[in-house]
Chain A
Amino acid sequence: MTRLPGSIENVSAMQAGLVGCHSCDLLSKIKGNDHQMLQCPRCGASLHSRKTNSIARTWALVIAAFIFYVPAMVLPITNVSSLGVSQSDTIMSGVVLFIQTGSWEIALVIFVASIIVPMMKLFILVYLLISVQQKSDKRMRDRAKLYRLTEFVGRWSMVDIYVVTILIALVNLGVIADIDAGPAAFYFAAVVIVTIFAARMFDPRLIWDEMND
């Protein structure tokens, strides 16, 4: 690992009148106003000094994810019917069931992936949005790390969706029980996808812009 020496004057590309291509890293000069659509002369990607309308769009997606999270938690994710008895489980009651049957490791995996990760991701984004809007110049490195964390952990929330898919595939082919996916599967998948797009919409360079002013 080599840490680059950095620039002595702490100048961002935008302040130097340059924009770095997100795809191929080529630096181009900003011509005219900042919002003008430019294309990278090397690879053809569109160039933006900062993502367009990043804060408003990220807020919209974060709020949408919180709204989808409610039915995802309240509605059943699976309906199991076995020998005439049917039982509906929400994500949370599924976790409780795993604890009761002694599989606490599995309960922990599902609890972390389905409840802790999406909530943590959304609250981190809320914190980043508010701190950028308040033009905070504190703990920039920590906030940059938090942003990287949200990009890394988001995908793990899909675990429960995959578990339901595999259970349906196997159990319905057998004879012991019938398993149906409940409506929460849809809302939970929506939470995961919307939060992935929310994290992408946020521009981490905004965190550092206060330092450059």
Chain B
Amino acid sequence: MSLIACHECDLLQQRISLPAKSKAQCGRCGAVLYRNIPNSIDRTVALSIAGLVLFICANVFPFLAFEVSGQSVQATLLSGAVALYKQGMWEVAGLVIFTCVAAPLAQILLMLYIFVPLKFNRLPYATAKAFRLLREMQNWNMIEVFMVGILVALVKLTKMAVIVPGLAMWSFMGLIIVLTAGASAIDPELVWNRFGFKKEQPGND
């Protein structure tokens, strides 16, 4: 039997083993403390490979085509940020690139970096730091908010011109689903239990 402290209210509780596909909640404040995720590593690896393919499509192909008086104009995910940068708004441009391009890419690469070796029973170099960075990148990845921004912009522009959603738009929607599923496929316990400190945990004796 081991103990766990709630990370939101610090209450000490006894860990119990969970049935598959369920999560343990703090008995006092209701925070989710840990989960039992079946096939966690396989699913994480599969979803991050799918995520990488979708990410490339979302950035290479135009996400919106804009037709006005016979002319067609295409925009990619990055061209908006570049336009902001050219107007002197480099801070805002940087924030858009960080939250919609850099953070999702880092999230995908870190998932591959940690979980591909883990699938072959190995721990990659600096796993703990990589895992903390992965958590951080998950917080800063805001592609689902960007998607809502695209929808709002569409409504605003359909009054002026014909807007055709491009291939990248569909890839982008896929990427949102895959990365959300990927984040919830990760079982941190699988990583930390390989560090071999379990026996020294207070309350374990």
Q: Does A106 contact B (CB under 8 A)?
A: yes
From B23, B26, B92, B149, A181 is in contact (CB under 8 Å) with: B92
Assess whether A26 is in contact with B197, with CB atoms less than 8 Å apart: yes
From A19, A167, A186, B92 is in contact (CB under 8 Å) with: A186
Which residues on the A side are within 8 Å of B157 (C-beta)?
A: 167, 170-171
From A1, A6, A27, A140, B203 is in contact (CB under 8 Å) with: A27
Shortest beta-carbon distance, B55 to chain A, in Å? Answer: 17
Cα(A2)–Cα(B89), bound, Å:
48
Cα(A169)–Cα(B129), bound, Å:
36
The stretch from B40-48, B71-79, B104-112, B174-182 touching chain A is B71-79
Which residues on the A side are within 8 Å of B91 (C-beta)?
A: 186, 189
For B204, give the chain A residue with the smallest CB separation. Answer: A27
Assess whether B83 is in contact with A169, with CB atoms less than 8 Å apart: yes
The stretch from A39-47, A57-65, A119-127, A128-136 touching chain B is A39-47
Shortest beta-carbon distance, A11 to chain B, in Å? Answer: 5
Q: How large is the interface on A (under 10, 10 to 19, 20 to 34, 35 or more residues)?
A: 35 or more
Which residues on the A side are within 8 Å of B12 (C-beta)?
A: 7, 11-13, 16, 18
Q: Does B96 contact A (CB under 8 A)?
A: yes
Assess whether A208 is in contact with B23, with CB atoms less than 8 Å apart: no
Assess whether A18 is in contact with B73, with CB atoms less than 8 Å apart: no
Q: Does B124 contact A (CB under 8 A)?
A: no
Assess whether B149 is in contact with A156, with CB atoms less than 8 Å apart: no
Assess whether A176 is in contact with B33, with CB atoms less than 8 Å apart: no
Assess whether A167 is in contact with B153, with CB atoms less than 8 Å apart: yes
Assess whether B22 is in contact with A2, with CB atoms less than 8 Å apart: yes
Which residues on the B side are within 8 Å of A103 (C-beta)?
A: 155-156
Shortest beta-carbon distance, A204 to chain B, in Å? Answer: 5
Assess whether B192 is in contact with A25, with CB atoms less than 8 Å apart: yes
From B3, B25, B29, B34, A208 is in contact (CB under 8 Å) with: B29
Additional pairs, 18, CB under 8 Å, beyond known A20-B4, A26-B192, A155-B142 = A2-B22, A6-B28, A23-B131, A25-B7, A25-B34, A103-B155, A109-B152, A141-B29, A158-B99, A159-B148, A162-B149, A165-B96, A166-B75, A166-B80, A168-B87, A174-B71, A175-B68, A193-B95
Q: Could you write out 20 A-B pairs with CB less than 8 Å apart?
A: A3-B25, A3-B27, A6-B13, A19-B5, A20-B4, A20-B5, A22-B7, A23-B128, A27-B4, A27-B203, A29-B202, A42-B192, A49-B10, A145-B30, A148-B31, A173-B79, A174-B68, A181-B84, A189-B91, A212-B10
